[in-house]
Amino acid sequence: MALDVLCEVTNCVHNREGRKCGAEEIYVVSHKGNKATNSEETDCKTFEPGVL
């Protein structure tokens, strides 16, 4: 399991110093059912907008 999850979405409430995700768990989904062939076919459902 990854020790650090990095995120470039600066307005997510889980985005911490150093671009590290502070969420307790990460939920990623695929646009193509339950399989994806590349990262562009996925989305992170953990995102929650925060205040910039």
Distance CA 43, CA 52 (A): 21
pLDDT in tens, 3-42: 889 999 999 999 998 899 999 999 999 998 888 999 899 9
Distance CA 13, CA 34 (A): 27
- Asked if 27 contacts 48 with a C-beta cutoff of 8 angstroms, the reply is no
What pLDDT, on the 0 to 100 scale, is given for residue 1?
74
Strand, helix or coil for residue 16: coil
pTM of the model: 0.71
Residue 52 has pLDDT above 60, yes or no: no
What pLDDT, on the 0 to 100 scale, is given for residue 19?
92
Residue 2 has pLDDT above 80, yes or no: no
What pLDDT, on the 0 to 100 scale, is given for residue 25?
92
